[in-house]
């Protein structure tokens, strides 16, 4: 199919790359995952992995969502849902679910939605940690992309975007 010949892409109708994540998808709103659209998955992909992290956390990169062994035929992840084929990894919160942006007041935080196409299924158990995912993915990533959203903390919300 022609859709598989392009570059791997991850987009969201909820926010553009580099733009603010609406409150609905944060702890200030419903704290549900935004709808995500996937395109350009390589034909040889056997699975997809999605991670969402905050590299601006004062304690180091904070993992908000880990999904793996997603079928490579998935073209979207609906709002407040998980593909039936996906397994949840264990986040920095110690749970297996999406937890939206909720940083302490101060400077804006970036949230990286990273999508990887792999040449194999990871075959890890649900609840695998990010280091386990990264180790299993090593040498098997055939394409990757990133969608970044920004959370404007209380202090930074008073600053105009324009």
Query: In terms of Cα–Cα distance, which of 148, 151, 116 is closest to 133?
Result: 116
Query: In terms of Cα–Cα distance, which of 125, 123, 124, 119 is closest to 138?
Result: 119
Give me the residue label for tokens 């098997």.
140
Q: Model pTM?
A: 0.90
> CA 138, 132, 58, 145 torsion: positive or negative?
positive
CB within 8 A of 77, min separation 6: which ones? 33, 35, 36, 38, 50, 67, 83
Q: Domain map of the chain by residue range? A: 2-154
Indicate the CATH number for domain 2-154.
3.90.280.10
Instruction: Per residue of the chain (162 residues), give pLDDT as tens.
Output: 334 457 999 999 999 999 999 999 999 999 999 999 999 999 999 999 999 999 998 889 999 999 999 999 999 999 999 999 999 999 999 999 999 998 888 888 999 999 999 999 999 999 999 999 999 999 999 999 999 999 986 644 443 333
Is residue 87 within 8 Å of residue 49, measured between CB atoms? no
The neighbour count for residue 96, using CB atoms within 10 Å, is: 17
């Amino acid at each position: 199919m022609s859709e598989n010949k392009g570059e791997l892409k991850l987009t969201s109708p909820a926010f553009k790359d580099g733009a603010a994540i609406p409150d609905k998808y944060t702890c200030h709103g419903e704290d549900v995952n935004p709808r995500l659209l996937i395109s350009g998955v390589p034909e040889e992909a056997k699975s997809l992995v999605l991670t969402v992290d905050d590299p601006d956390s004062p304690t180091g990169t904070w993992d908000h969502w880990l999904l793996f062994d997603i079928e490579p035929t998935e073209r979207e992840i609906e709002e407040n849902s998980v593909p039936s084929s996906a397994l949840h990894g264990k986040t920095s919160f110690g749970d297996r679910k999406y937890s939206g942006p909720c940083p302490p007041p101060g400077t804006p935080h970036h949230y990286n939605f990273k999508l990887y196409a792999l040449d194999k299924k990871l075959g890890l158990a649900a609840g695998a940690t990010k280091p386990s995912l990264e180790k299993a993915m090593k040498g098997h990533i055939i394409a990757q992309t990133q969608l970044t959203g920004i959370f404007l903390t209380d202090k930074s919300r008073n600053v105009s975007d324009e």
